[in-house]
Structure 1
Amino acid sequence: MESLWLEYAWALLILIGLEGLLSADNALVLAVIAKHLPENQKRKAINYGIIMAFAFRFAALFAISFIANIWQIQAIGAAYLLYLGLKHIIQARFGKQNENIHKNDKKEASGKGFWPTVGKLALADLAFAIDSILAAVALALGLPDSPLGDFGGMDGGQFIVVLLGGIAGLILIKYAATWFVKLLAKRPALETTAYAIVAWVGVKLAVITLAHEDIGILDPHFPHSTIWTLIFYGVLIGIALIGWFAPSNKR
């Protein structure tokens, strides 16, 4: 029994680290999406974003079996993240780059800019909540059954691990979002980096969707395999490092 709880404790530590990465991504995206707003609206929008992140992730905890089994939910999350990330990257790379992007920023910041921004934050939060819960469930389901019975469609001990990991992620989002707003002012290159990370997380959700038993294009074990995990986090860290060390061009 002692070894069982040690295994659970180790899994929880790993999950907190994993949720930390996803929460940092989520917080960075909140900061980037709200970046164009005036300062008072920016803080308000980010606070709304944090509240929605809390709501969606807690809702996801109690809809684990639904999210894990309905591939359409996963596909919508993947499609939205890919759209959000690639749209910005293509604009920045092939459009009139920063000039066009900032013209759009000014348009969004005026008039009806606030609520459309909150809407974008909600969609991004929902997609990240789906990804977060799927990652947590994938890790927790590898644990042996506990003597705590069943809850939320899974073993009680596994559910507690997912719950505690999710709470840790939410705490990190709360404190990281404000920090990222300040960081973006110093390192503008991180804006495109954030959208590249968004697109890459979208790829991850797409892989999970394609491996769903009702789709069957990929092997169902592939999204949780060691090789894909190494590829995903290797690319994720690579994107973050490139963005961090990229020249901070003033716009």
Structure 2
Amino acid sequence: MQDYLPLLQDPTAWVALVTLVVMEVVLGIDNLIFISILTNKLPEEMRERARRIGIGLALVMRLALLGTVAWIVQLTTPIFELFGHGFSWKDLILIAGGLFLVWKATKEIHHSVDPVDHEEDFIASSATTTFASAIGQILLLDLVFSIDSIITAVGMTPHLPIMVIAVIAAVTVMLLAATPLANFIAKNPTVVMLALGFLLMIGTTLIAEGMGFHVPKGYIYAAMAFSALVEVLNMFARRKRTSDRKAKSTLH
């Protein structure tokens, strides 16, 4: 405990902790949207358990990665060069995760936009989304987002206790927000398309990052926030029109 007293009395450490918690929570939104969309395809009695297991695995994975910080830092070391850019293990993991997200989001958007011609494929897809396959896909994306999250944490502070507290706080927020977000997405079909668009943008960003093109996260989340605000306004407008139609039908 005495080893941590100087850290507790250091104002910069507290600033780093608050900043890192906020950043980890924001970075967790990507993971949470994917988990919500994927678990909503499961039978209703399995959804809550799948979300808890998926987010629990994210916590375990991030804490395990924090225990190997020295190895994590080495993931940014280039292992080969192509087209003048040195690719590291982190780059390859981001590219693979980005491609998976783009494929998954495109597939779900395709089924949503053209459900008639692909009704049989959609039913087959839903049937094959078993509890185990959902957990497997969540685990895959947990790995991608966890490595990105931990490397971000390492870049912000050298203190392991701060990283651990920030990760636990962020995952706790994810756990609390998972079910309300998933229920909201399930009850609002237009939000599903918006969330899939977010996943498509996040996947493209991961690929770009892996290719060496830095995309400021602020731009991505600002675009997501603006789109969400527009959708909220649309939802209010739709409810107003619906209530107006009901009021007119009652009068007549």
TM-score normalised by length of structure 1 = 0.71
Equivalent-residue separation in structure 2 for 1:246 and 1:82 (angstroms): 31
Q: 1:22 aligns with which of 14, 19, 27?
A: 27
RMSD: 3.3
Deviations 1:71-114 (A, max 9, x none): 22442233223432354246526985345677555324436622
**In the alignment, does 2:176 pair up with 1:171?**
no
User: Deviation above 6 Å: which 4+ runs of structure 1?
Assistant: none
* Equivalences, count: 220
**In the alignment, does 2:95 pair up with 1:78?**
yes
Aligned-pair CA distance for 1:179: 1.2
Equivalent-residue separation in structure 1 for 2:58 and 2:117 (angstroms): 30
Aligned to 1:214: none
Write the letter of the residue equivalent to 1:47. Answer: R
Whether the aligned pair in 2 keeps the contact of 1:197 and 1:239 (CA below 8 Å) is no
189-198 or 95-104: bigger deviation: 95-104
Alignment of 1:91-110 (within 5 A): 92=109, 96-99=113-116, 103-110=120-127
Equivalent-residue separation in structure 2 for 1:110 and 1:94 (angstroms): 14
Provide structure 1 residue ranges, at least 5 long, that are not aligned to the other structure: 141-154, 212-217
In structure 2, do the counterparts of structure 1 residues 193 and 128 end up closer, same or farther at CA, with 3 Å as the change threshold?
Answer: farther
Alignment of 1:133-172 (within 5 A): 133-140=150-157, 155=158, 158-172=159-173
Whether the aligned pair in 1 keeps the contact of 2:36 and 2:181 (CA below 8 Å) is yes
198-207 or 128-137: bigger deviation: 198-207
Alignment of 1:113-128 (within 5 A): 113-128=130-145
Aligned-pair CA distance for 1:30: 0.7
Equivalent-residue separation in structure 1 for 2:36 and 2:119 (angstroms): 16
Equivalent-residue separation in structure 2 for 1:75 and 1:53 (angstroms): 20
Provide structure 2 residue ranges, at least 5 long, that are not aligned to the other structure: 1-5, 76-87, 239-252
In structure 2, do the counterparts of structure 1 residues 243 and 62 end up closer, same or farther at CA, with 3 Å as the change threshold?
Answer: farther
TM-score normalised by length of structure 2 = 0.71
Alignment of 1:14-93 (within 5 A): 14-70=19-75, 71-89=88-106, 92=109
Deviations 1:23-64 (A, max 9, x none): 233222111011111111222322221221122111221223
Deviations 1:166-195 (A, max 9, x none): 111110111111111211122223323333
Write the letter of the residue equivalent to 1:39. Answer: E
Equivalent-residue separation in structure 2 for 1:91 and 1:80 (angstroms): 17
Aligned-pair CA distance for 1:16: 1.2
The structure with the larger Rg is 2
Aligned to 1:191: 192
Residue 164 of structure 2 aligns to a residue in which SS?
Answer: helix
